[in-house]
Structure formats: C-alpha cells, structure tokens
C-alpha cells in the first residue's frame, strides 16, 4: 500500500519550501500520496491541497485574534482529517502558532511528526523547545546554528540546509531582466515588496508608495514595480495603488527574474529578504505590526535583528527600519541612497557572499525529502 503524508504550510514561503521538498519526494517515492494545506507551488509539485494557505496567512497577535474563529474552524477540520486519513507522517512547515498545536493533536492520535523549518526559538519564546520535545519526533532545521539548540534539549534534529542555496541563482543581467518586463534598460527600477499577507501589505504598502513618490521627484524616470505574492488577492494591491500618480506595475510571475531587474528594493521582513540578498540586489527591510502586537513582541525578542541576512551572519549587513522608523521620510532616504550610491551593487554582492557562506550545506530540499523517506521507512 502506498505511503501517505500530510503537509501543512501556512504562508507563501512555507508553500515554496514544501513544494521543493515534495518535488524531490515524488522522485524518490513516485507512489507517495501527499495531501495538505498549501498553495499553487505545492499543488504544482503534486500535493492535493484541501485548504489554500491564504486562508491562514495573518501576522501579528491582534490580527490573529481578529480571525481566531476562522482559524479555529480550519484547525478542527485538519484534526478531523488526521483522524480519518491516519497518514504515515505529518510534516509541519514553519507557522508555529498553528502547527505546534496541530503537532500536539497528532501526538494524541499517534501520528509521527516531522517539523520542517524551526520556529525562531533563538529569537523569542525559547520555551517552545520544551513543547517541541513533547510533540515533535524530528526537527529538520535550515541553519547550522539551530542544531545545538535542539541537541541540548534532547530533540532529534538534522540540519538539512537552506533550499534557497540551490534555488536562488542569478542567471540574467539587470538590463536583460528589465527588458523582459518591458522596462527601459537605462532607467532606474525600484521594487516595493510589501509582504505576502494582507495585513502586512495594508500596513506597509501605502507608506512605501508615498516614499516612492518622493524619490521620483528627486530621481528622473524612476520606474516602480510590485511583485504580487502567491495567495494575495490582486485587488488588495490595486485598491492601495488607486490614489498614486505613479504608474506602478504589478507582476505576478517570474519572481526571481523580476527581483533581478530591480536596481533597489524595499522589502517586508521575511524569507524574501534572503532571496533578494542571494540575488545580489541592493535593499533594506521595512516592517511594522499593530502597536499592541509590537509592544508585546518586543518584550520577548532576544536578538538584535529581524532580517534573516543579519540573523544568519550575526552582523548588521542590511538596514532595518522597524515600527516607528517606518516613515515616508526614512524610506525615501533609504531608497534614494541605494539608487544613487556608486558602490550599492558592490555592497550587495559582498552581502550575498557573506549570507551564502553562513547558510551552510546545499541540497536542502533533497535532504529534507530524504529525511521524510527515512522516517516513513522506519515506521
């Protein structure tokens, strides 16, 4: 009888990571049945998704509370499915607020759990390691520095490596990429990357646009582009763009090529900043949540950075503008500097090299898939 797994990815980055792993799994075990929560990338890789991750994509404590009933309904549906399907393995991808509770239920049912991509226990809520030890059978982590955290706690752990080491390759020049999207190759292109969750986009994009308007008054012929994140309703972005005089283009495919076309990017914190860095694009991070969420979270965060490039290298490589620093003036200053400083691209390449060195082994998706296979064969 073919083996069966359920994979839960609650946001765009998790969908992408899970999809790479599933694609490798299908090569190793062609008859493997894969169901779960995910998006277009997981479906393209061969997963049968019974709920789209966009139903779960929300950020911030207050934002989660507002949608609690909806999230609880989805949670109960997944638990019911676990009891009915009795999969050979439950693979949880990041999204700890939801997934750790699900791991607890899977433990009660008797379903083995592999947790792929660790919650940020090194940044905040270190006590989650104790919970993980009780409800997770194996941790598959992306970063080498995460391994000793779990080893010290007695949690089985494997560093599979970050999939982006293999997935992100710049194989096109900035000018070639601009031409493919119909931009003038001699004119500067600014990318506004406001995140993949509606709450992020609504909090950040209006300020990003106002900043871009200011920059366009200083820098002639500025072009502006926004990538439409997977799972995000295009109308959300279009409604925010309605009042700007700028002709901002929305692009919903070829993310890496679009990123490669940009001369500078301002981006929401998240996996996307690692992708931008690995493509060698000058950028900085801008992020904010509701004041109440920030007040609560800032009391628990125990590392000086939020950006993954800065975290993995333990260096302040990429500028971070957070919360009260997210103003039109500050963003406009940061964008202008990236677009006018002669050594911006040289600095971005230096950052790329340092991040690549800190990320550890290659073959992340393959290694994660091999770990899944070993757990299935051991069952």
pLDDT for the residue numbered 123: 62
What dihedral angle (degrees, nearest 10) is formed by the CA atoms of 277, 281, 283, 288?
Answer: -50
pLDDT at 129 (0 to 100): 92
pLDDT of residue 301: 60
7 CA to centre of own chain: 17
Residue 350, classed as helix, strand or coil, is: helix
The per-residue pLDDT for 294 is: 63
**What's residue 379's pLDDT?**
73
pLDDT (tens digit per residue) in 145-191: 899 999 999 999 999 999 889 889 888 999 999 999 999 999 999 99
The SS3 assignment for 29 reads coil
| pLDDT attached to residue 63 | 57
Instruction: Give the residue ranges of the chain where pLDDT is below 50.
Output: none
> Residue 28's CB: how many other CB atoms inside 10 A?
13
CA torsion, ordered 69, 120, 40, 37, to nearest 10 deg: -40
Q: What angle do CA 187, 326, 272 make, to 5 degrees?
A: 60
Per-residue model confidence (pLDDT) at position 79: 96
- What's the pLDDT score for residue 367? 96
The pair of three-digit structure tokens given for residue 42, joined into one six-digit string:
């997981």
User: How many Cα atoms occupy the beta-carbon half-sphere of 209 within 13 Å?
Assistant: 21
Q: Is 162 helix (H, G, I), strand (E, B) or coil?
A: coil
Could you report the per-residue pLDDT of 3-42, keeping only the tens digit for each?
999 999 988 889 999 999 999 999 999 999 999 999 999 9
- Residues 168 and 279 sit within 8 Å (Cβ to Cβ): yes
Q: What per-residue confidence (pLDDT) applies to 371? A: 98
Q: Which domains does the chain have, with CATH numbers?
A: 4-163+363-378 (3.40.50.2000), 174-358 (3.40.50.2000)
């Amino acid at each position: 009888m073919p083996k069966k797994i359920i994979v839960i990815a609650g946001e765009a980055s998790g969908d992408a990571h899970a999809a790479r792993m599933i694609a490798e799994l299908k090569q190793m075990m062609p008859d493997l049945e894969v169901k779960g929560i995910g998006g277009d990338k997981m479906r393209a890789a061969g997963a049968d998704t019974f709920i789209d991750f966009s139903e779960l994509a929300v950020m911030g404590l207050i934002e989660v509370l507002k949608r609690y009933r909806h999230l609880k309904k989805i949670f109960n549906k997944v638990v019911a499915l676990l009891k009915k399907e009795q999969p050979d393995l439950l693979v949880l991808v990041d999204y700890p607020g939801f997934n750790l509770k699900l791991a607890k239920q899977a433990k009660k049912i008797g379903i083995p759990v592999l947790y792929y991509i660790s919650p940020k226990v090194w940044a905040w809520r270190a006590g989650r390691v104790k919970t993980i030890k009780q409800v997770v059978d194996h941790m598959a982590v992306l970063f080498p520095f995460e391994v000793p955290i779990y080893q010290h706690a007695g949690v089985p752990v494997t560093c599979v490596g970050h999939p982006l080491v293999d997935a992100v390759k710049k194989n096109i020049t900035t000018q070639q990429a601009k031409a493919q999207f119909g931009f003038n190759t001699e004119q500067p292109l600014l990318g506004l990357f406001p995140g993949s969750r509606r709450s992020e986009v609504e909090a950040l994009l209006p300020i990003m646009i106002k900043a871009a308007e200011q920059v366009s008054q200083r820098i002639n012929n500025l072009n502006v582009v926004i990538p439409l994140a997977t799972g995000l309703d295009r109308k959300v972005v279009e409604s925010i763009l309605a009042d700007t005089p700028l002709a901002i283009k929305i692009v919903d495919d070829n993310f890496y090529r679009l990123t490669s076309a940009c001369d500078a990017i301002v981006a929401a914190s998240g996996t996307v900043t690692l992708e931008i860095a690995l493509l060698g694009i000058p950028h900085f991070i801008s992020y904010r949540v509701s004041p109440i969420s920030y007040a609560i979270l800032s009391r628990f965060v125990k590392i000086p950075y939020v950006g993954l490039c800065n975290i993995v290298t333990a260096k302040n490589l990429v500028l971070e503008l957070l919360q009260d620093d997210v103003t039109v003036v500050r963003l406009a200053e940061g964008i202008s500097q990236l677009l006018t400083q002669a050594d911006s691209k040289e600095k971005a390449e230096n950052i790329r090299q340092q991040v690549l060195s800190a990320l550890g082994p290659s073959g992340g998706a393959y290694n994660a898939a091999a770990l899944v296979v070993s757990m299935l064969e051991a069952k």
